[in-house]
Structure 1
């Protein structure tokens, strides 16, 4: 009996959201999507009962694209789902697990394995945070007359429930709604940060409002604006602290992503049995979307999690930490850059001084930037290639879809092998170029910062996801009017 034959029945019995038995109407898909979005906002505002105010958020730097909320029921966000996806993509891509993802049976096995791994990752990502980072409230324990471990256990149960809810909410959107839950949650979280970054009137550390709009209103009405323009330190304050660079970066990223999403190679197609019926298969420059960037940042986040746990046990060979921030060692170089304060020497020195550590040398800061750039660009390429293969977007799977839809490439034989050979000319090359380009764009946004501190990756994902959601909405409406299109686009429900 093989290992797979033992696991397959177990995977098939894992709880899951039932697929619709017939095509879901467009208006119903919109309603399901909006309902899950509303539930997400509700859960993100439900605090963990029994958590101490002294708790530390291990994933604070990665919160934008993990789509969680600090101290809430969904503190894990999409972290377990993304981590499980990384592990399986590496195992399948490295041919350690032999699966042909164009085969429906292997696809079902892959999805079952991924769901099981998500359950495992929920537990594995919850446990480390409860050992010194998400702390139980002693006052609550005293009030209830129980030991602290009872409150800790209750926190563990809450976090696991939140992780499972996010997993099933993602499944509901994927099967009954529009797009994916992961994308929806990222957009919701980042959009909330951007809006807050624009209009938040609460005072910051400098005494002015945190939001860009009220801060500039205060600077103009108080007459301080002219004074700031008269000195180099004042100009730096306006660029960094007053949000000019962040606003420019946000606008540039928005324009560039919208433009790049429309750049594509259109492969001509002709119907094999209907003369004159022609079409085009678009291969976008960002063919694998920007979701591989989640995988890159999630990989960095999990590396940092290991570093924090080791440092907390006194093992500092890989680096020391101040809270969840690496201050030296290899972990410092492997951490993500999210804003100008992570690489401009003056601001880096201020941050390290506030934590009580010596600031790194200029060459160390430069090396940190170079390593982050390499991880984003190389990781973007690698994960983009893995992504298209595991999601059925590779040359082989695309060729099968085109052939099964009754289409062919004019001038080539009407068989899968010929279509696949033609697709190999474009899909892998465009995927590599798109993965590298999206990595460079993420680096640009990360270096300049973004409105609301959403981070370059979070902003990039949000703009691209919103654009593709718009395309999905148009596609869903078209398929409802012309059901025959579903066979070509691979929609089976």
Structure 2
């Protein structure tokens, strides 16, 4: 039934405007220009506030802000959330066989992409409307009075602005993916995380209900001015330095960066030789993190959407799923399945230091940690498999690409089938292993905390994206010098 409806609506999906693909090779300088232009536009839009929004509004994505690459109170507040959510839904439908599409078939892949674009616009509305109707994004009564309109009209204006911002993110992502370097989603995440890390290091502003500056380096100066050496050398003083002083977050961030770079460089390389050009050789790398870190976005996006559901229920007076303070769950199922974001979320003494958790039983704190670990590892494996199958990284698609480029594995027959059997020995196993490994790395980073509170998922994504961006830049420069390489990579000369 779903397949029939999808096929019937396909002509309408095709009419949704999209960014045209280049008809010929785009030079490196132009790709770099498009990428930097979109990045600049992203930062500009992140500083454009939503007109008519009341200052008392609640950001329900506060705990996922760095991950979703949006800016609180701006017209791009939804960030990449709709794109990720639409991708999750479609991958689950295809993976479960509810929508039967052969993604190795060009027509089916085009149908998949058209339906995904339509679904993204649906998700923009779905993620914006509940925030407005649920009372999280509140219209400003003063603005309504000055304009001489009702609060409902101001709420409509807020929705229109969020929809426009979400639409701009969609097309900015398409511009980077088709005309720039890498993908827009990755670029926005990297920009948001980098901004948070820099702020977390150097921000001298003192937050409300705190005596110390927000940034780690200004905090050290404050500690040196207000604490003596003897007090800091005690057990409580060392704990204060590690946790509150940000030293643990700094060490964790550095270690995670090193581990991700090491994991990105760990690979199995399959030797290749060109059938028609003697001496032309290469290698096809199968990395340990074969599916990249992007499946972690899907895991956290799924958790974020569940948390939003819980907040909406609580705002309606339904507390069976848990209670909230602002955007933070403090009890019930929603507390158990919420992500761990630092030592203050799983060390009982630190958890109970908060007045909201003073009476929380220790078994519930431990259960939350175990549930988060299970979600990260199992979700990392599951979404890594889905990502490989739907993004053209599976053994069959890769084998066909290698065969079309004229390359072959020495000692094996020059057929896609033989290449596929060889790749099947590695790709499925590495996909599962890499998904589990990245889930464990994310868990460790979340448990110990990171600079700027970006979270383990966001930090891993940023490091992996930066590493991939460096590789993409090197590849683009290589293809400029050696056009034959473009043909090997499946591009037109």
- Taking the TM superposition and a 5 Å limit, the aligned residue runs for 1:121-200 are 121-130=123-132, 131-200=134-203
- Taking the TM superposition and a 5 Å limit, the aligned residue runs for 1:15-94 are 15-94=17-96
Give how far 1:145 is off: 1.7
2:212 matched to which residue of 1? 208
CA distance in 2, matches of 1:135, 1:119: 23
Would you say the 8 A contact 1:348–1:359 is kept in 2? no
1:319 matched to which residue of 2? 322
Higher deviation after alignment, 78-87 or 361-370 = 361-370
State the SS of the aligned residue for 1:311: helix
Distance 1:359 1:293, change over 3 A: farther
- C-alpha offsets along residues 147-188 of structure 1, whole Å, 9 cap, x if unaligned? 111111110100111000000000000011000000000011
2:298 matched to which residue of 1? 295
Distance 1:19 1:329, change over 3 A: same
Task: Count the aligned residue pairs.
Answer: 489
Would you say the 8 A contact 1:228–1:238 is kept in 2? no
CA distance in 2, matches of 1:24, 1:140: 47
State the SS of the aligned residue for 2:271: strand
TM-score by length of 1: 0.97
Would you say the 8 A contact 1:67–1:186 is kept in 2? yes
Structure 1, unpaired ranges of 5+: none
Give how far 1:234 is off: 2.4
TM-score by length of 2: 0.97
1:436 matched to which residue of 2? 436
- C-alpha offsets along residues 259-281 of structure 1, whole Å, 9 cap, x if unaligned? 11111100111222333432210
CA distance in 2, matches of 1:492, 1:8: 28
2:116 matched to which residue of 1? 114
State the SS of the aligned residue for 2:414: coil
CA distance in 2, matches of 1:61, 1:171: 27
State the SS of the aligned residue for 1:288: coil
Structure 2, unpaired ranges of 5+: none
2:471 matched to which residue of 1? 471
CA distance in 1, matches of 2:353, 2:160: 39
State the SS of the aligned residue for 2:268: strand
Give how far 1:241 is off: 1.2
Would you say the 8 A contact 1:36–1:169 is kept in 2? yes
CA distance in 2, matches of 1:370, 1:440: 12
Would you say the 8 A contact 1:36–1:173 is kept in 2? yes
- C-alpha offsets along residues 39-71 of structure 1, whole Å, 9 cap, x if unaligned? 000111111111111100111111111000111
Would you say the 8 A contact 1:271–1:406 is kept in 2? yes
1:373 matched to which residue of 2? 373
Would you say the 8 A contact 2:405–2:490 is kept in 1? no
Give how far 1:348 is off: 1.6
RMSD: 1.4
Runs of 4+ in 1 over 4 A off after TM superposition: none
